[in-house]
Every structure is written in structure tokens, then in C-alpha cells.
Amino acid sequence: MNKKIFIIIVFCILFLAPVISFGFPPCAKLSLKKAHTWIGEQTFEDIIAKGTFDGVVGGTTPAAGSFTTLIGAMNSSATKTDNYQVLVGDLGKTLIMNSASDKTFTLLSVAAGDIGAHLRFVKTGTGKVTIDAADSDTIGDSGAGDTVYCGGTGIAVINLELVTATGWAIMSVVNEPSESWITTD
């Protein structure tokens, strides 16, 4: 017997025969009543109609403007022309170094609560750009507290994400053909 035909016959015997004989079980019947999805003290329909949510999700209430702040940080950039200490407010930003001289971005001290933080660094000037890890943190396969740098004269981009309490992963690198980011040990 063909395997497909056998499977169809078994399906009919096991699933359709009881339905034909006894009807759908009560739990399988569709309800035509309007369903409401409750979120906090409001229904989803209320939130859509009103355009705002006045409640608590997951036991916490977001700080006023926190989502706007987060989106703003993710879509913002800052151009630097001198050595720069990266700040908490820079997380999620694109930091651009435009200098003909060698310059350094020094990363901030991080902890487990910062895991998931992103930073993008862009080198547009002709000077070497170094990213210096704070404390005993690492960047990619660099040594503890060491660096990653790009010394060519063209444009180079590196994206970092904090993946452990002390480890920045190199998520992507975009370089002109003569450029490369090099980790130190």
C-alpha cells in the first residue's frame, strides 16, 4: 500500500470518524462572541481607540519618555575630532572619528546589567583610530584591557555588542579594501 494513502486512512479513522459519529467536542467549537485581549486594566481595543496605554506591563511602568530616548539614541551619531571617553549616554550611538592624527575612543566600564549594549565606531579621517577597552574588558579576541585599532587612511566601521559582563563582541566590520581592524593582546 502506498505510504501516503495509508497515512490518509489512519487520519480518517483516528480523527474524522469520532467527529462524524459524535460531533465536535465542546472545546473545539468556535465562539462567535467578541474576544477582548486584556493588557493591564485596558483592553487592546481600548488602547487602539484611545491611542495611549495607561497601565503596567510585566509589573513595571516605563519611565516617561524612555522609549523615545532609546529610539533617539539608536538613530543618533556624534562626530569627534579628539580622544574621547565613551559615556553611558553613547550606548546605541554611532561615534565617528574624523581626524588626520591618531586618536583613541576609551570604552566605559561595564557590568552584567549592560549586556546587549551596542556601539558603532566609524573612522573617516586619515589618522589611526584605537578603541581601548576599560578595566579588564576584552574586545573580540583582544587581551584584557587591550585595544582594537584601524590604521589605514580610508573609511572603516566596526560594530560592537557587549555579550558578557566584560566582553565586547565584534558583530561586524565594514572597511575599504585597504582597511582592517586589528585586536591587540
- 76-183 has which CATH code? 2.60.120.640
Which pTM was predicted? Answer: 0.61
Reported confidence tier of residue 137, pLDDT bands at 50, 70, 90: very high
Residue 26, pLDDT score: 43
Question: Which residue is associated with the grid cell 551619531?
Answer: 77
d(CA 94, CA 101) in angstroms, rounded, equals 20
Cα distance between residue 90 and residue 93, in whole Å = 5
Which pLDDT belongs to residue 92?
93
Alpha-carbon span 142 to 30, nearest angstrom: 59
Q: Does residue 126 contact residue 153 with C-beta atoms inside 8 Å?
A: yes
- Give the residue from 104, 159, 157, 147 showing the smallest Cα distance to 127: 104
Whether 37 has a pLDDT exceeding 50, the answer reads: no
Given this model, what pLDDT does residue 177 score? 73
pLDDT digits (tens, 9 = 90+) for 70-129: 445 556 899 999 999 999 999 999 999 999 999 999 999 999 999 999 999 999 999 999
Within the chain, which residue ranges are assigned CATH 2.60.120.640? Answer: 76-183
d(CA 185, CA 171): 19
Q: Is the pLDDT of residue 19 over 90?
A: no
